[in-house]
Amino acid sequence: MSKRISKEQINLRFNITSLFVYIVGIILIIQLLNLQIINGDYYREQSNTRLTRISEIQGSRGDIVDRTGNVLATVRKSYNVELYKTNIETEELNNAILELIKVLEKNGEAYEDTFPVKINPFEFEITENKLSNWKAKYDLEENSTAEDAFYKFKEKYKITNESIEDTRKIIAIRYRITTEGYSTTKSLEIATDIKEETVAELSERSGVFAGINLVEDSIRTYTSGSLASHIIGYIGDINPDEYKELKEEYDSDDVIGRTGIESLFEEYLKGKDGEKQIDMSVDGTTTAEYVTQEAKAGSSIVLTIDANLQRITEEALKNNINKIASGGFSETFDTSAGSVVVLKIDTGEVLAMSSYPDFEPEKFVGGISQTDWKLYRDNEDKPLLNRSIQSQYAPGSIFKMVTAVAGLETGAITIQEKINDTGVYRYYQDKQPLCWYYSDYGRGHGYLNVTGAIKNSCNYYFYELGRRIGIDTLSTYAKYFGLGKKTGIELPSEITGTLASKETKAKLLANAEKESQKQWSPGETLSAAIGQSYNSFTPLQMAKYIATLTNGGKEVEPTIIKTIINSDGTEETREEIEKFSNEQLGITKERNSETLKIKEEYLSAILEGMRSVTSETGGTAYGVFRNFNIEVGGKTGSAQAGNKVNAWFAGFAPFDKPEIAVVVMVEKGSHGSYTAEVARDIMSEYFGMNSKNVGETVSAMPYVEQER
């Protein structure tokens, strides 16, 4: 049975509650009187003399480093000068602006000046078709002179200085305030990346510069000039469309990766901005600062390349191209571009990758000048093009090992069988190509087995071998080596290359008028067997092929990322890196469904042929490697491409236990043996030898080798 509450108890509770409400109300009224009446003047003064704004703390961009920790791309600290609106008189603002400009000019600092009127003499700096609208916008008469406009703005901004020069300096900033605007929370950027002495002077005289704020910034810098430029890439200012899409993560004045690693790993490299609260008085003096959100630096991308080997590779390629172009090999050839790839055979790591000519990533920082952009854009040698992965070339004779593997593995040829090179391959009536040896000496090589055919680069031998195996078998084995498809390297814009096959021809000639034109002809197989026809691959694909060959057919997967280290010290797993890279590239990286395991005796016969190229008299690269301290396997190649001949060298070392594969390609280089010097210099560096002691005794004949 519940207890009934009496009327007296109810009244007592009501009275207690009412009393509590009255007491609280009285306290609030007293406090309100204190704030508005008793101490109202004090609190109003405090409110009117205190401003608060939120300032961004930039999260610095992550570094790009080589495999040993050498920094290739980083950020350096810089300071920018900003101006905020403050509650000061116009004359005081004008004087502060003038003093600021004097400090900047004294220290050689640049500042933005958009006022379109020059002095001494007075002239408009604006095109005629825009001048009329500009005058109308600022209430100037149509016939107003530049001098009239100048004094109109002097009056508008209430500038009292007598000096025309000083007045012009003040107008420069006041005009930007008019056109761009600023407030107590939105700044106007006056100067960027100022010198340390300027920072010191402005800091020491902060009381003079009302509303001036120094903001710490970071600027991308590339420590080694153009080194590995095609790998690293460059950055650029985010454009309006990108900002619209990415404004949750980016500010309108942020930078973003455009090419190379800078682009593909933008998500990792970009830091996360923080915030700080700044309290200041209305005269612009900062009274306190509080970090409300910590900034977070971007991750460091660790590349597989070795910076020193990369430097040697780039120098060797450049020197070789210049030597060929200047007649250093008995005859002058019009070459000016090329590529080199150095792979670590057991891991597929790219130790060096060079494309010549190159470019300066630093030129793009802060926006590339029109002059520099025009030089890069209009250069017929395309310095911004990464030839290692973005250009494809007929491989010529360095493809012949693919044909040899296919012939031996299918039983179309044996190690011992010799084919008689008579100079002219006469099997087909309508296609009777010559061996290069016949073109030069009027006779064939005679009887050669597979090892001798590789050593002498005998076209006749591989014509016959190609005929025996057919194009379907040849293209199947080429696929085992990754030819005709992307390697999946962690760089943007890699192309697939083209593998000679019936399907390729039909696709390329799909619009041909006659159906017969799309059909594969037996004679085309002969060209494909020596690396011509529709065969066209990137230097990186060829390096993968050589590494896979020396691996006995075990597929090598090229990579240029060693690891990624986050700002908190954690390291991304290999699986996470591969997943991210593949998603960014939009590829599904799959290994061949069937693996190729080359029989040991077949592999030995083929590699022995490559050894004899560099180590035996008559080998096409013997003159380059005959005094070399390490035994090298190699193959030269000269591939017809229209009216030019591209030069190749593909090699590996040491011969007995291969560690690195090197592929060199020089556009219009004429003869593969010329390019072998590049590989020699790279190997000298890699194995710690003194390349200066290696003699350059190349006894090359002054001719253009035909499909050798």
Q: Is the dihedral of CA 591, 594, 599, 603 positive or negative?
A: negative
Is the Cα dihedral 307, 313, 317, 318 positive or negative? positive
Q: Encode pLDDT of 349-382 as tens digits.
A: 999 999 999 999 999 998 999 999 999 999 999 9
User: Structure tokens of 540?
Assistant: 């990186």
Decide which of 435 and 7 is more confident.
Answer: 435
For residue range 312-350, what is the model confidence (pLDDT) as tens digits? Answer: 999 999 999 999 999 999 899 999 999 999 999 999 999
Task: Indicate if the pLDDT at residue 89 is higher than 50.
Answer: yes
Q: Are the beta carbons of 646 and 666 closer than 8 angstroms?
A: yes
Q: pLDDT band at 11, cuts 50/70/90?
A: confident
Q: Is the pLDDT of residue 690 over 80?
A: no
* Position with higher pLDDT, 702 vs 215: 215
Give residue 593's pLDDT band: very low, low, confident or very high (50, 70, 90).
Answer: low
Looking at the predicted structure, is the pLDDT value of residue 274 above 80?
no
- Residue 584, both tokens: 């960014």
CA–CA separation, 524 vs 534, rounded Å? 9
Residue 701 has pLDDT above 70, yes or no: no
Q: Are 221 and 73 in contact (CB under 8 A)?
A: yes
Q: Which two tokens stand for residue 376?
A: 């890069």
Q: Is the predicted pLDDT of residue 695 greater than 50, yes or no?
A: no
DSSP string for 72-122: EEEEEEEEEEEE---S--HHHHHHHHHHHHHHHHHTT--------EETTTT
Please provide the DSSP assignment of 160-179 as one string: --S-HHHHHHHHHHHHHHHH
**pLDDT beyond 60 at 703:** no
DSSP letter at 396?
G
pLDDT of residue 696: 42
What pLDDT is attached to residue 704? 39
pLDDT digit string, tens, across residues 90-139: 999 999 999 999 999 999 999 999 999 999 999 999 998 899 999 999 99
| DSSP reduced 3-state for 474 | helix
- What is residue 238's DSSP assignment? P
Residue 693 has pLDDT above 70, yes or no: no
Q: Which is nearest to 285 in space by CA: 588, 49, 573?
A: 49
Report whether pLDDT(421) > 60: yes
Separation of alpha carbons 610 and 336, rounded Å: 28
Residue 279 has pLDDT above 90, yes or no: no
Whether residue 55 is predicted with pLDDT greater than 70 in this model: the reply is: no
Mean pLDDT value of segment 383-401: 98
Residue 40: pLDDT over 70: no
Single out the residue of 501, 429, 534, 461 nearest to residue 708, CA to CA: 461
Find the range with the poorest average confidence among 220-224, 280-284, 677-681: 280-284
Average confidence score pLDDT of the chain: 90
> Would you state the pLDDT for residue 452?
97
In this structure, of 19-28, 40-49, 396-405, the range with the lowest mean pLDDT score is 40-49
